[in-house]
Structure 1
Amino acid sequence: MTPSTADQPQVLTEDFEELARRAPETIRLEFINGKIEVKPVPDGNHGQMLMWLIKQCMQQRPELSLFPEQGLKVEAYRKGRARPDGTLAPEEYFAGQGEWADPDGVLMAVEITSGDPDTDRRDRREKRDGYAAAGIPVYLLIDRDDCTLTVHHEPDHGKYRLSRSWTFGKVVEIPQPVGITLETEKLKDYAD
C-alpha cells in the first residue's frame, strides 16, 4: 500500500471537510500532508498554557485575538486542513469565513504538544511545514515534552527560514508582525 502524501491524499479535500463536519463533537479531525489526523483532546495543563498565552496576547496586542481551534486551509495550494491550538489574527478576521478559513491574514499559529506518540511528526514537522507553506509569518510551538518554546518565522518556499528555542522560564521575543514578549516562568507550573 502506498503511503498518503499531499500529492496522493487518502481522500479529496471536499470529502474530508464533509467527514469533519459529521464527526462527533468529542473528535477533532485535521487533514495534514494528505492524511486524516485525529487531534488529541487537550488536558487541563494544555488548556492553562493556552489561556496564559491568550492573556499575554490580549495585554500586549489588544487589537488582535488568539482564536482557539480555528480551522485553517494550509499547505501548498490550501489542500490541507489544520486546527491550531491558537491562531493570532486581527479581532474580527474570521467573521463570515466558515469552518476552514483562509490563512492570509493570520499572524501566528500556535501548537501546544499533548504528549501523544504522533507529536514529533505532527506538531514538530508536518504542521510546521504546512503553516510555512500557507505563508503564516510565525509558528509558535510550546513543547511540553522538553519544556521549550520554539519560534519559527520568515516563511520562504514552504519552510521557515529561522527558528529559535528557549526553555520555560526564559524571556521570549516573538518577532514582527506579532511583536510580543513572553515571560515564560509561569509555564513551569503547567509542565508535566
Structure 2
Amino acid sequence: MTMIERATPIENAVPPTFEALLRMVAEMDTPDGFKAELIRGKIVVSPFSRLRYYRSMRALREQLQAHAPEGHVADIAPFLFRFPQAERAYGPDLFVTDESAFDEEGRHADGEALSLVGEFTSVSTRDADWKEKLDVYGRLVPVYLVIDMQDSEITCFWDPSPHGYRSRRTVSFGEPLPVPEPFGFELDTTGF
C-alpha cells in the first residue's frame, strides 16, 4: 500500500487572534540573525539587514538622533512594534521612538510611540516595505523612510491620515532629502 502525503483542509478552523499571534512570536526561538514580524495576519521570519547595509543604517541613525524630538531615541535594535488596529507588528530596520515605549512590560513596543520608521529594502522584503508597511505606517507614524537599496533611492513619506500618507518625496542616493517635522532637517545621503 502506498500513502501519498497531501494537505488536508481543516473545516471551521478559527484563525488565531492578534494577541495569540503576538504571544507566539514572543515564544519563538528565532534563529540568530533573523526577526519575526506579523505581516498580513501571518508570522513572517526574515533575515536582519545585510552587512553591507550597516554603514548606511548607521549614517541614517546618527543624523536622525541629532534631530530627533526631545525624549526620542534613534536605533537599529531588533524590537517589535505593535499596531493593534491593523493587527500587525513590525520590527523596523531603523526607528525613532519616544523612550517611554521601553518602560512597558512585555516584548512588543507600542507603535504609537514611533516618530519615524526607516526600512531598507531587500529582494525578500521589498514588497512588504513598499505596500503592507506603507499602508500601516501611513495611518500613524509621522515620517516613513524607504531606503531602496535596489534602486539607490530614498523616499520620505509624511503627513499620515486615515487613508495613508498625503506627502512624499524621492531622491537618488547622493542628493539631499528634506525630512519634515518633527525632525526638520536636510538628510545627507552621500554615504548611502
- Same fold by TM-score greater than 0.5: yes
TM-score (norm 2): 0.81
Q: 2:82 pairs with 73, 90, 109, which one?
A: 73
Q: Which residue of 2 aligns with 1:4?
A: none
* CA distance in 2: counterparts of 1:181 and 1:90, whole angstroms: 21
What aligned pairs does 1:56-135 form with structure 2 within 5 A after superposition? 56-61=63-68, 63=70, 64-68=72-76, 69-74=78-83, 77-116=85-124, 118-119=125-126, 121-133=127-139, 135=140
Name the % identity. 26
Query: How far 1:62 moved relative to its partner?
Result: 7.8
Query: How far 1:33 moved relative to its partner?
Result: 2.4
Amino acid at match of 1:142: I
* CA distance in 2: counterparts of 1:138 and 1:53, whole angstroms: 14
TM-score (norm 1): 0.81
* CA distance in 1: counterparts of 2:121 and 2:164, whole angstroms: 20
Change (3 A) 1:137 1:61: closer
Query: How far 1:155 moved relative to its partner?
Result: 1.0
Cα root mean square deviation, aligned: 2.3
Query: How far 1:170 moved relative to its partner?
Result: 0.4
Q: Aligned residue pairs: how many? A: 176
Q: Equivalent residue of 1:181, what SS?
A: strand
Q: Which residue of 2 aligns with 1:170?
A: 175
Q: Give unmatched runs, 5+ long, in structure 2.
A: 1-13
Runs of 4+ residues deviating >6 angstroms = none
Q: Give unmatched runs, 5+ long, in structure 1.
A: 1-8, 188-192
Q: Is the 8 A contact 2:69 2:183 kept in 1?
A: no
Amino acid at match of 2:117: A
- Show CA shifts across 1:156-177 (max 9, x none): 1141111111000001111011
